[in-house]
Structure 1
Amino acid sequence: MDVTPAPVNGEISGNVLFYTKPEPLSRDLHGKLGVKGVEGPFAFASKAHAVPLTVGEFQLAAVTGPIIFVGDEKLPIAVMGLRADENIFLKPDGSFEAGIYVPAYIRRYPFVFANDDQNGQMVLCIDRASSLIVEGGEAAFFDEKGEPTDYTKTCIEFCNNYEMERQRTANFVQLLRALDLFEPKVANFQGMNPDGTLSEPQKIADYFGVSEEKLGKLSPQQLVELRDNGALPQIYAHLQSLVGWDRLVALAMAKDTLAQAQAQSPSPANA
């Protein structure tokens, strides 16, 4: 894998969340560009209600919300909202609420490695459409000699580490598949009626998760294998994270109540 800025050659493939105009980082095209400093750097993630997660992040992300697996590939994601296009943990100013774990997938932006199919390699790209990238930005991509700055080298290292974690995550998922530990799951919410009785359950999401029943039926040797390769703590982190569905529901209801109260309150001009 290339870990240096690549020239513009070959065709970049891949459709990646957040990145609308990926371009291979080039001193010829981007020599005067950099990333500007902003108080709310994560505004681009305001509509990200589900964000890819690597297995090494499970234990940190579990305290924030549910970690689930989706699609045929059983991609692990961090659930960050109940509604499409709404990240419930992101404040209007583009910063995250205190104590929220921010996935590495978000933190690497606007950098990303992408496939260069023509040359059979990975190249470092930037999202040229990002509002964070400007001419003369505080964190320049290249120095006066046209060499990558320390900032760019750090970002390259971060993205390279992310790709290695992504592969480790694929191996983790494959291990769970091999042990047949996945099962379809449904997240439901059951509220209260005005008279105090329980309302009808409402389905929040369909997803895949680890079956506790199947996990309990593994042989001692299989459990030791999961323990020794570090998979068992990550499985438990995933299972523990699922209690976070209730937290998301409570946050969504509180947000809706606040919005309704604000909409009904008179404006200062009419008070």
Structure 2
Amino acid sequence: MTTQTQLPLFYRKPQVLRFEDHKAMGLVGSQDFSFTAEATAIPLSVSEFMPSIRHYPIVFVGGKEPSPVAIVGLKQGRNLMLEEDGAWAARTYIPAYIRRYPFILVQSPDQDTRYLAYDSESGRIKPLSDAPDAAPIFNEDGTASKAVEPMLHLCEAYHQHRAQDTAFLKAISEADILVARHVDMDFPDKSRYRLDGFSVIDIERYRALPARTLKQWTEKGWTDAIALHLASAQNWGLLMERNQRFVKSA
């Protein structure tokens, strides 16, 4: 977590889970992703480029400190991957960032310890007395329950993957191969919209990198990630097609 004025996407009121405070709380099972309704981009780790390649354009945001995201919407405030019932689009990869919700890892002030927290405004963690079908958060000995343990592992894995991405993201930024891009779209109702605020790797700048750099990047697996990023551009058309289906069903 960053600061109270700059909370992670979707998290409105993160609260650290403590046995003494939450031993009577339970997790309500749900596959409702309605909390993503207004998102047009979802954070990704580089390790997710492979499963994302068939579904989303993968771009970078953040300027000097680029961060990869999956584009899920064309117009601000409309997630095209969200169905009317709150389910995610069938047979489509669901990014780990949202699969872990409402949980998240937060750092201690000294940065030495991570704690499992949750968004207390998510509605998925409730007193067991109010939600008898909910799974307890804690076991009686204070350890994470079977319902929460997988979420803890998912949060930890996501955190580790993002930490491992740092060197790659720093390298492509310092190599000056990221360029700002935008997408202009013409919709059937004659309206036009521009999606901007993101960057992509410029193929010509990438190919012009010194052979030694490319060799090092290949050894680290970074060229594979770049290839997946570049190939994901084909998915802009898929988003346009999905948007058209939503327009016809409206």
**1:136-215 alignment, distance < 5 Å:** 136=128, 138-189=134-185, 203-215=194-206
Give, in whole Å, the separation in 2 of the partners of 1:12 and 1:164.
21
Amino acid at match of 1:248: L
Match of 1:250 among 228, 241, 250: 241
Q: Which residue of 1 aligns with 2:216?
A: 225
- The letter of the residue matching 1:160 is E
Q: Equivalents in 2 of 1:27, 1:143: separation in Å?
A: 9
Offset at residue 105 of structure 1 (A): 0.3
1:101 aligns with 2:93: yes
Structure 1: 5+ residue stretches without partners: 1-10, 194-198, 260-271
| The structure with more radius of gyration | 1
- The partner residue of 1:86 within 66, 69, 78 is 78
Tell whether the 8 Å contact from 1:23 to 1:126 is kept in structure 2 after alignment: yes
**Identity %, equivalent residues:** 28
Paired residue secondary structure (1:185): strand
The one-letter amino acid paired with 2:137 is F
- Find out whether 1:59 has 2:50 as its counterpart: yes
CA drift at 1:201: 7.9
Q: What is the CA deviation profile of residues 77-125 of structure 1, one whole-angstrom value per residue up to 9, with x for unaligned ones?
A: 1110112221111111111111211111001111101233267533211
The count of corresponding residues between Structure 1 and Structure 2 is 243
- The answer to whether the 8 A contact 2:136-2:147 is kept is yes
Q: How far apart, CA to CA, are the structure 1 residues paired with 2:111 and 2:229?
A: 38
Contact 2:60 2:199 in 1 (8 A): yes
Aligned residue among 115, 122, 125 for 1:123: 115
Give how far 1:206 is off.
4.1
Gaps of 5+ in 2: none
Equivalent AA in structure 2 for residue 244 of structure 1:
N
TM-score normalised to structure 2 length: 0.87
What is the TM-score when the length of structure 1 is the normalising length?
Answer: 0.81
Give the aligned residue type for 2:124: L
Give the Cα separation in 2 of the matches to 1:217 and 1:89.
36
Aligned equivalents of 1:164, 1:154: Cα separation in 2: 15
Distance 1:146 1:200, change over 3 A: closer
- RMSD between aligned alpha carbons? 2.4
